Each structure stands twice: as C-alpha cells, then as structure tokens.
Chain A
C-alpha cells in the first residue's frame, strides 16, 4: 500500500513530546544521574559507578520489602477479585436498586488515599477508635500499633474496603453487557447455576477482570499513602513496602544515591510487569 509520508505530523506531536520530556524524561535522567554518584551534600558529587545497585541488590532490607510487597499484592488480589465478582453477581440488574448500589459502590473510590488512611488509623485505635475499642471490649486483643499481624490485617481490610468496589464496578459492567438470550438459552440447555457462571458470565468478564487484576496489582505494588498514614511502616519494619522504604531512604536519610538506584530498580520491575500483563492481554485478544 502506498503511504504518504508527511513529516509535518511531527510538528503536531511536538508539544506533547516537550511536555513529556520535562515531566518524565528529564526527572528520570536526574535519577539515573544520582544513582551512579555519591554526595555528602554541598552539591559535591563523586562517581560511584554501580556501587549503589550492588549494595541494593545484596541488601536484605530491599528484598524483605519486596517480598512483603508481593505478599501484600497477592493477598489483596486473592480477596478483592473473588469478592468483587461475588458482589457484582449479586447486584440487581434493573430497578431502583441499581443506582443505589452503584453509588454505594463508588463511595470508597471517591475518598482520597490519605483520608482513607486517616479514617482507618482512627477507626482502629483501641482508645478512641470504634473498631479497635469494641474489638478489645469483646476480648479480642487487637492493637495495630504493636502487633505486626494486627497491622497487616488492618492494612489489608482497609485496602479491600477501599478498592473492591473497583473490581465490582468493572465486573458489573461486564455482566450487564450479556444479552438476556444467553441466560434464556442456558435455561433451555438445562445449565446449572455454576455452568452459567463458568461458561457465560466468566468468559464475558474475562477482559474486564484482566484489567481489574492489572490495575489492582499495579496500585497495590505501588502502595504508599495508606500504610504510611496508618502504621508508618511499623511496627518495626513489618509494613514497610518498597515505596515506603524508598521515601525513608531518600527523604529520611537523604541518601540520594541509594534511593535513586532503588527508584530505578522499582521502575524496571513495574515496567517488566506491565509488559507481561500487556503481552498476556494482547495475546488473549489475538486468540479471539
């Protein structure tokens, strides 16, 4: 096919290229710059080569944060996805219940991250918090400030409360797009409730579910604000995820070199995972 090459098009995308350069490329390059140098302040930098990367990849602190992050992502996906599907399946498909449910479901999504953190931080306190106080009152020893397990439970419940709605809304969108004829045909074919789910509803939700899993994985892998507000990464380091660790290193200790190296590794991990998800999704589309 004959294509007309028109270089004027570059002129039209130039503004966006410049913008991206200033907002993404240049800061990224600064980080790359920091990651290979050492500084003791006063704007004096010395060459450090790959030292920070070697130090980072051999430090147990980094790997522990990484493992914590992966476990966290895995747990919340394992809860939010099935729970989201379950709620979506049970939401009304018509009538006055639809807008009510949709609004209720959207509410947690509208609350800013730090406010969610603050809500749960107060909610869980065992002196004045509704949840913490009454849990202790009925004899359950719950204290997220001191007990790592309680801290984890709090953060996971908080994330489930905050983000399951997203999975619900995506699945619901997939479900309502299924024409009635499919359910009628299934009835005629004598399909059980499970078969309807397995062969009609799940395949129709597959695409949105993939998007939901992708979004939730990314978000949970980058989680910062909520655990920072609720536990500050504690008790000890038990809820210190990669991003919290990064901020501690960069701003708490002002170790720009190691922090920059960490950012880059973190960035590469996210890039790699995005690529894996993208490939899976496009392969899935190609199969169709």
Chain B
C-alpha cells in the first residue's frame, strides 16, 4: 500500500501542446493518502481516465511528478510501479481457468508455485469464486469476469494501489450493488489504497470517502459526499452532483440581500463577491414550496417515488424543487429559499459569506 503524491501533473496527447486547451489534464496536484478510498468523478472527457492511467504508468505525464510513498516513480513502467487496475470491460484470459487467471500475474513474476497456490486460494476466497476455480474463465458472467480482473490485482499482496476505470459499466444493475458492497468490504478489511473512476455520482458517493470531482482537465473540488452536496465549490459540482442538480441563477448582491429580477432574497451573510458574474445556487432540496415567498408558475410535477420534483418558472427562469411524496402543490404556489442551502458564486467559483 502506498501514499500517492501527484505533483503538478499535466498531460497532453499532442506532441507539442501550446495552449491550455491542448492539455487533456491541465494541472493536477493532489495527495492520495495511504489506504484511502477515492473516487474520480466527472463527465466523459474530463481527464479522469488520463489521470488514472498516469498513476498506473500506462501513460507518462508531459509535465510533473508522481511519488509512491515519497519515491519518484514518474518514469517507471507499469510493472515496476506494482499497481493493479480493473478496466471498464472485464479483461480475462479466455483460454485459462479461473485459477490460472489469478495465478498469471504471480507466475509472470516468477513466484514459487507453492506460494502461488496459497495466494490464489486466498484470493479466490476473497472474491467468492472458490467453487469456480477449475472452470474455464470464458464461461463466466460479466460480474464474475470483473471479479477475476480485480482478483488478479488482489493476488499480489504488495500492490501499491488498486485502480478502477469505470468497472461497473457492463454489469447488470442488481449486481452493481453487490459488487460495490464487496469492494467496500475488501477496502475495510485490507485497507488498500483505491482510486475509482466513474461518471456515476451514486457509485462515487457510495464507494468513496473522498470524492475528487474533475471538470475540463482539472480538479474542481475534493471532499466528502456531504461537502460536495452542501457546499459545491464550483457551479459545475452543483449541476453534476444531485438529482436534479443545483438551481443556479444570476443575481445582484446588495449587502445581505440578493436581487433576482424584482425579487429580494435574504442571505445568511454578506458575500465577498468581487467583480464578474454573480450567481446564486440552491439545491432543489432547500427550495420550499408554500403559500408565501416568491410567486412561481408550475410547469411540471414529476413523481419519482420517494419524493416529487416540481419544475417551475421563477422570474422567467427554470427552477426545480423537491417536495415530500404526500405534499401537495398549493393553488397559488410560492417559493422560499432556505438560507442554509444558499451558496453564492462569482465567476462560477463559490465565495464565502461574512457576517
């Protein structure tokens, strides 16, 4: 297990990158603590897989440095870094049995056969495939194959980190939950450093202690699931996390009030907004629908089971609110914003509010 330091890493797939736009990874500077469970969350093309491949050594960064436990591994090959990686599509060696698949990484490293046997049996136990050991790997289901991919990493007890590149994409929904909880268990029992790339917020939020949200080649926020939800540092995090995403609307600030068109919204403090476009962000969960506040016109009510999502227009802008399953929409609907859920953004970045 290792602590992974990513020092000012930049990467471009072009031979001679000139502008910032040429970089798939603009600049990442972050420490993955030993034994942590991290999720890299972001939309397609935000650079999360690039970052993962740089950590695993499948890519070498254009700039910057990578340390494992303080040792510089920037130029080392994948083998020398001793990491495990699970890919989006299960990679198994078709012609081998499940047992041989797991033994493969050890045999390649010239581990004595007795040790191979012991380690493989342990691993089969861990991933719950003991009864399948002698079966050909190609006859297995997708989730079993994915477990084998994981097992080939676990079998090497000295791996520095286990990296996951959207590992549950091809798994049936009901198996996703099972696999995810097994992963969690493995993490708790053995304390591997795990980095998990995904574009699925549910996966990221349930798997990780720390979620790293990436956008457009850079990290926009690192935090616990609760932090990402309550205090998105960037409007992108607000949109991306939560379902539906955060309501963001342009406002003008006057002391402790935000002016939204003709409406005045009380703020919990006075934001230190500098120049640039100022926006107010509030999650639909903090929008209260009732008989007092700002008048809205309802366009749609979606019943999603546990709660209802109300789509409405406020001052000509779309706004979403979440109400309880048994609440009803009043005849002349009005909304209030719960001050606890209000964030103010200047040029898309969150600003603190003073007293």
| Residues of A bordering B, CB below 8 Å | 179, 181-182, 184-185, 187-192, 195, 199-200, 203-204, 288
Report the bound CA distance from A179 to B109 in whole Å: 24
Q: Identify which of B94, B108, B152 contacts A203 (C-beta below 8 A).
A: B94
Does B85 contact A184, Cβ atoms closer than 8 Å?
yes
Residues of A close to B56: CB separation below 8 A = 184, 188
Does B108 contact A182, Cβ atoms closer than 8 Å?
no
Does B58 contact A199, Cβ atoms closer than 8 Å?
no
Residues of A close to B149: CB separation below 8 A = 185
Does A185 contact B108, Cβ atoms closer than 8 Å?
no
**Contact bitstring B38-67, A, C-beta under 8 A = 1, else 0:** 000000000000000100101000000000
Partner-binding segment picked from B76-84, B247-255, B258-266, B343-351? B76-84
In the complex, what's the smallest C-beta–C-beta distance from B230 to chain A, in angstroms?
37
Q: Identify which of B58, B93, B96, B139 contacts A184 (C-beta below 8 A).
A: B58
Does A189 contact B58, Cβ atoms closer than 8 Å?
no
A to B CB contacts below 8 Å, 5 in the list: A181-B87, A188-B105, A191-B104, A195-B108, A199-B96
Does B95 contact A199, Cβ atoms closer than 8 Å?
yes
- Whether a CB of chain A sits under 8 angstroms from the CB of B91 is yes
Residues of A close to B229: CB separation below 8 A = none
By beta carbon, the residue of chain B nearest A202 is B95
Within 251-306 of B, Cβ neighbours of A (below 8 Å) are at none
- A179-B89, A199-B93 are known contacts; what are 11 more A-B pairs with Cβ within 8 Å? A184-B58, A185-B91, A185-B152, A188-B78, A188-B105, A189-B104, A189-B152, A199-B104, A200-B93, A203-B93, A204-B94
In the complex, what's the smallest C-beta–C-beta distance from A253 to chain B, in angstroms?
52
Residues of A close to B58: CB separation below 8 A = 184, 187
Report the bound CA distance from A185 to B56 in whole Å: 11
Report the bound CA distance from A187 to B83 in whole Å: 10
Does B105 contact A190, Cβ atoms closer than 8 Å?
yes
Residues of A close to B108: CB separation below 8 A = 189-192, 195
Q: Identify which of B88, B93, B104 contacts A181 (C-beta below 8 A).
A: B88
Question: Which one of A181, A189, A200 has the greatest number of beta carbons of chain B within 10 Å?
Answer: A189
Report the bound CA distance from A181 to B84 in whole Å: 13
- Whether a CB of chain A sits under 8 angstroms from the CB of B138 is yes
Report the bound CA distance from A17 to B177 in whole Å: 56
Report the bound CA distance from A288 to B84 in whole Å: 28
In the complex, what's the smallest C-beta–C-beta distance from A199 to chain B, in angstroms?
5
Secondary structure type dominating chain A contacts: helix
Question: Which one of A187, A188, A189 has the greatest number of beta carbons of chain B within 10 Å?
Answer: A188
The 6 A-B pairs with the shortest beta carbon distances in the complex, nearest first, are A185-B91, A181-B87, A190-B108, A189-B105, A187-B78, A199-B93
In the complex, what's the smallest C-beta–C-beta distance from A203 to chain B, in angstroms?
5
Does A181 contact B83, Cβ atoms closer than 8 Å?
no
In the complex, what's the smallest C-beta–C-beta distance from A285 to chain B, in angstroms?
12
Residues of A close to B89: CB separation below 8 A = 179, 181
Does B96 contact A288, Cβ atoms closer than 8 Å?
no
Report the bound CA distance from A181 to B152 in whole Å: 14
Report the bound CA distance from A192 to B139 in whole Å: 25
Residues of B close to A190: CB separation below 8 A = 79, 105, 108-109
Residues of A close to B153: CB separation below 8 A = 188
Report the bound CA distance from A187 to B84 in whole Å: 10
Report the bound CA distance from A188 to B108 in whole Å: 10
Does A182 contact B91, Cβ atoms closer than 8 Å?
yes
**Contact bitstring B98-132, A, C-beta under 8 A = 1, else 0:** 00000011001100000000000000000000000
By beta carbon, the residue of chain A nearest B138 is A288
By beta carbon, the residue of chain B nearest A288 is B138
Does A188 contact B85, Cβ atoms closer than 8 Å?
yes
By beta carbon, the residue of chain B nearest A204 is B94
Does A185 contact B94, Cβ atoms closer than 8 Å?
no
Residues of B close to A288: CB separation below 8 A = 138-139
In the complex, what's the smallest C-beta–C-beta distance from B96 to chain A, in angstroms?
7
Report the bound CA distance from A189 to B93 in whole Å: 11
Report the bound CA distance from A182 to B93 in whole Å: 9
Residues of A close to B94: CB separation below 8 A = 203-204
Within 142-157 of B, Cβ neighbours of A (below 8 Å) are at 149, 152-153
Report the bound CA distance from A188 to B57 in whole Å: 9
Question: Which one of B83, B93, B94, B105 has the greatest number of beta carbons of chain A within 10 Å?
Answer: B93
Q: Identify which of B77, B85, B138, B139 contacts A185 (C-beta below 8 A).
A: B85
Does B85 contact A203, Cβ atoms closer than 8 Å?
no
Residues of B close to A199: CB separation below 8 A = 93, 95-96, 104
In the complex, what's the smallest C-beta–C-beta distance from B261 to chain A, in angstroms?
51
Residues of A close to B138: CB separation below 8 A = 288
Residues of B close to A184: CB separation below 8 A = 53, 56, 58, 78, 85, 87, 91
Does A181 contact B95, Cβ atoms closer than 8 Å?
no
In the complex, what's the smallest C-beta–C-beta distance from A184 to chain B, in angstroms?
5
Question: Which one of B85, B91, B152, B153 has the greatest number of beta carbons of chain A within 10 Å?
Answer: B91
Report the bound CA distance from A68 to B280 in whole Å: 87
In the complex, what's the smallest C-beta–C-beta distance from A206 to chain B, in angstroms?
8
In the complex, what's the smallest C-beta–C-beta distance from A157 to chain B, in angstroms?
34
Report the bound CA distance from A190 to B87 in whole Å: 16
Does A188 contact B79, Cβ atoms closer than 8 Å?
yes
Q: Identify which of A185, A191, A195, A203 contacts B87 (C-beta below 8 A).
A: A185
